[in-house]
Structure 1
């Protein structure tokens, strides 16, 4: 007579814990609808062309980019879809014919693949695409 052995309780618990951890990790990358999270991390705008506005948000809280003429750098903090730009500095090159609107950015709002940027007064100043 053949007897099937059931895994010991600690093994079942470890397997269940592993499944829960994998599910939690996967769900942290998506919102409740299953779409990518609204993290600002990554590149926004045309990072291949230094004459075009762009920002790169690094995982450690650093941000850098260009307004199309001047280099921009600083730090960022995100709560939900709202992003605060902190300690932003830039070079001060005179840029003839370049709209340097991005250098006025103080906050941002992530909306899917769009990043809306606002000045210190909360006025919208432009948008960058992912």
Structure 2
């Protein structure tokens, strides 16, 4: 007994091809991944200067100029909300330890603007090159 092979209508195949092309185009135009502007090192790595390195997953580490800082934050676009900040507790004279009080930060061009828990700007860090 002969088997009959059914073909999909031409308009179905054409529609599927258009949909596949549209998906490929959208994937290629997705742009910068969320948080990409935040990834990298901010601030000076010179002694007694604040700096912060932020990873793709929101993990961060750095120093307030005296104490080592680390933790994991939540990234939403160009803003990071810092999770609990683990810090060493060394006593350093003449160092402003403002970075340890960070609650969030927003990348604005080549500057990371840092805010405290009340939303007040407490400092800025320039992106390291």
Which aligned runs of 4 or more in structure 1 are off by greater than 4 angstroms?
A: none
Tell me the TM-score normalised to structure 1 length.
0.72
Correspondence for 1:28:
31
Aligned-partner Cα distance in 2 for 1:109–1:21: 27
Count the aligned residue pairs. Answer: 111
Deviation at 1:29, TM superposition (A): 2.7
Question: Alignment partner of 1:39: what SS?
Answer: coil
Residue segments in structure 1 that go unaligned for 5+ positions in a row: 1-8, 31-36
- What are the within-5 Å matches in structure 2 for residues 1-130 of structure 1? 20=25, 23-24=28-29, 27-29=30-32, 39-47=37-45, 49-130=46-127
The alpha carbon displacement at 1:115 in A equals 0.6
Q: Which has the higher contact order (CA 8 A, sep 6+)?
A: 2
Structure with bigger gyration radius: 2
What's the CA shift string for 1:9-56, capped at 9, x where partnerless? 9xxx6xx68x737733xx5238xxxxxx86211110113x24210000
